[in-house]
Structure 1
Amino acid sequence: MKIALLGYGKMGKVIEKIAQERGHEIILRKDESNSFEGLSNADVAIDFSVPTAAVNNISACINASIPVISGTTGWLENYHEMVKLCEEKNAAFLYGSNFSLGVNLFFELNDYLARMMSKFKEYKVSMEEIHHTQKLDKPSGTAISLAYSIINHSDKNSWTIENPKEDDLFIDVKRTENIPGTHTVTYNSDVDFIEIKHVAHNREGFALGAIIAAEWIIGKKGVFTMKDVLDLNSQ
């Protein structure tokens, strides 16, 4: 499989290493200093860039009929625009706020717990998200995905990272050196609390998941998520 890497920072380099270990070839390493030349020769593109570059990267792939996997967060106000473009061009696009197998299982656990806890109003829900200091967006895309799942099953109307109101889900965002990612959901009452947590040890789990998604999307058309890749839609 010939892969175009759109974004060649720390994550891009980990993806490159694991992709080559799995027998794939990197034919384009795109950052702010070079162009999309060679993109048309790729079987698939993997975008782990920055919020300001994501829409341009994804659009270029869709317009060139190259299946694209995006793990860049912080640009989702344009997500539906990319979905529409993908449908118009009959292309293939998969966005994931997190590609880790463990995190996607954690998403399912979070959704199930939120549905159960919706009956017990004495428990107050909150979240904590910790990442490395180089992470540009606050909160993380993973935290936002977790938050919306909770909101869908609760009396919360929105999430916030400061000064929460009664109907807000509070996300406590922290930035600490050398933390790949920690996400915690807590239900607290006067007598006890229930907590679920996912802690990433390194970036390799995210990179492997992105490559598995890239392998999976070859030959497909449509807009997908990691639920499709991991066959979790029926769970």
Structure 2
Amino acid sequence: MSGSIAKYRPAQRLRLGDQLYEQILQRIVSGEYAEGARLPSENQLSDVFGVSRSIVREALSRLQVDGLVAARQGSGTYVQRRPNSEFFDYAPKGAVADVLRFFELRIAIEGEAAYHAAQRRTEADLAHIQSINQRLEAIIGARQVGSEIDIELHEAIAEAAHNELFVATLRNLRPLFDAGLKMTRGLSLKKRPERHRLVQDEHAAIISALVEGNADRARTAMRHHIDNARTRLVSDTEP
């Protein structure tokens, strides 16, 4: 593969909006800003954190996109979800906003990769995908994180699309992929076994669609899986 796609590298200087995003999120995780409670006003947040109101609006907008807060017309902004109390034990410092943005990108890229994989996969591709998934099953039984194997599975599905740009994009963004999977799978270990079982059921739905050659169902199953992973990451709800 040529070097035409620039490899992702975390920004040396974090954007102010992302800094504030992470600071507000830390207060949500700690319970200082409780679930269901109204956040301080834009003016108050601006004073507390020493940033402009435009930076506050940028951070709040990102928190809304990620489903962590919700704005109510004429009332203010309220905490909608509180992540697990150990969220920041797994989160890469200064890159939480980027990790959650990457889930949005994954939904688009991997959904299409699964669509084309269902149409183009070979028997060898299917055997490889199923073999990796069996290793993930063993990981569940051993109560281990298994993020590397999970990434391997997703890359194998991208490879089965037989368009090298799908897998090249994922590999070039590997730092975010690795961080996101370590967070989701690591936090899942803090939950009941049903949480990992649910993830495996979603993998099984994707693989079933690939086996059947059902492109639309493969795309939907993959998008559903990644969107669910993103929701599980920002919510402490069982399973």
Q: TM-score, normalised by structure 1?
A: 0.28
| Structure (1/2) with the larger strand percentage | 1
Select the structure with the greater relative contact order (CA < 8 A; seq sep ≥ 6): 2
| Structure (1/2) with the larger helix percentage | 2
